[in-house]
Amino acid sequence: MSALPRPFNPPARVLMGPGPSDVPPRILAALARPTVGHLDPSFIQLMDEVKALLQMAFMTGNDLTLPVSGPGSAGMETCFVNLLEPGDTAIVAVNGVFGQRMKENVERAGAGAVLVEVEWGHPVDPAKVEAALKAHPEARLLAFVHAETSTGVESDAETLCALARKYDALSVVDCVTSLGGIPVRVDAWGADAVYSGSQKCLSCVPGLSPVTFSPRAVQRIRGRNRKVQSWFMDLNLVMGYWGAGAKRAYHHTAPINALYALHESLLMLAEEGLEKAWARHLRLHLALRAGIEAMGLSFLADESCRLPQLNAVRVPEGIDEASVRTQLLERFGIELGAGLGPLAGKIWRIGLMGASASASNVLLCLGALESTLAGMKAPIHVGAALPAAMAKI
């Protein structure tokens, strides 16, 4: 008989890619608390607290605010399968990978997708969106990505949500990378359906997707002509479990310990304060930017629309970007992300999200990147990055 596998002991990493981010010990410790039943009165109380904390993070009073039991992609699908029916039309803005995924969700829900395409590395163009809404008055919703993880670009959510309301369409907003890192003001924007992920700026473990739905969106969900195609994601059923108070209808066994961790991560966000969390992400981005530019490297996105928590940095001419990432991982334990789609081989994606957004991580990353590139004879300015970053920290 062959020997049993050994327990898995993962290596220590510094997570500075597009997600997940570093998970603080306090959140990891929450995972180890005793498991209770998913209808236990103590767990019901925790569910109510998670809902209130998510309302704080989303800056909303929406009653239908909850964490979907699944990653950000499950939150995305939950929005589309509940708000669309076969034969509907949706306007989808595409300026990166995750806009493309929105299109896929629209089509798999049996609806037609009208694309508003923008060159990758640029924000969604409100003028193009308005032209599409004018041309398609039958459109039931407008979908766009607030913080495009594949390019490091922020789009103007407030303006785009206002356009959706102007043309009597619901807005679906991807805030997977933005929640906790930059302002997400659901009620002020008038956004109708917003989804995020636990593993990015919230610095929780992967596997949960916070979502929130406006009263307009809830009315659409309750007024459907046919059942939602997904039983698991049907919010008409899920609302019975994530409703108010102690009377809960069993829907599924929630990921109990993961919800302990989300609760802890949201508590940490509340303790820091939203505005201080946003300011921390920006300050450390500016330090990283100073070091990157002092080294002689540049960013994909223009400063006017650049995300502080997801930095798309151009690879120097003649450098094998995958080899750089491999060396950073093996020599320094640092994980960076690669480019996707047409940006594959052309950029690194450097994440400064949640607990990963720290001064020590910025300096470690810059020093390791400079050392690795210098060893490859890249055309960079050696010795300039760390002093430039230190001046901003």
**What H or E segment, with its residue span, contains residue 265?**
helix 256-272
> Which residues, at least 6 apart from 108, have a Cβ–Cβ distance to it below 8 Å?
80
The full set of domains in the chain, from first to last, is 25-270 (3.40.640.10), 273-390 (3.90.1150.10)
- Provide the pairing of β-strand 347-351 with 147-148: unpaired
Per the CB < 8 A criterion, the answer to whether 132 and 90 are in contact is no
Query: What's the confidence (pLDDT) of residue 1?
Result: 57
SS3 of 368, please? Answer: helix
C-alpha distances in Å from residue 108, one per residue of 85, 88, 133, 137, 278: 10, 12, 21, 22, 35
Query: What's the confidence (pLDDT) of residue 244?
Result: 65
Q: Is the peptide bond before 20 cis (omega within 30 degrees of 0)?
A: yes
User: Which residues in the chain come in under a pLDDT of 70?
Assistant: 1, 244-246
In 125-213 the beta strands, taken as DSSP E runs, fall at: 141-145, 147-148, 153-154, 170-174, 193-195, 209-213
> What are the tens digits of pLDDT across the range 267-286?
999 999 999 999 999 999 99
> What are the tens digits of pLDDT across the range 41-93?
999 999 999 999 999 999 999 999 999 999 999 999 999 999 999 999 999 99
pTM of the model: 0.96
* Backbone dihedral angles phi then psi of residue 179, each to the nearest 5 degrees: -60, 120
**What H or E segment, with its residue span, contains residue 89?**
strand 89-94
Of the candidates 196, 183, 190, the one whose C-alpha atom is nearest the C-alpha of residue 167 is 190
Distance CA 256, CA 197 (A): 17
**What H or E segment, with its residue span, contains residue 314?**
strand 310-314
Distance CA 207, CA 265 (A): 14
Query: What's the confidence (pLDDT) of residue 246?
Result: 47
Query: What's the confidence (pLDDT) of residue 249?
Result: 84
SS3 of 199, please? Answer: coil
Structural Rg of the chain based on CA atoms: 21
Q: Supply 186's token pair.
A: 């659901």
One-letter amino acid identity for 256? Answer: I
Give me the count of residues in the chain: 393
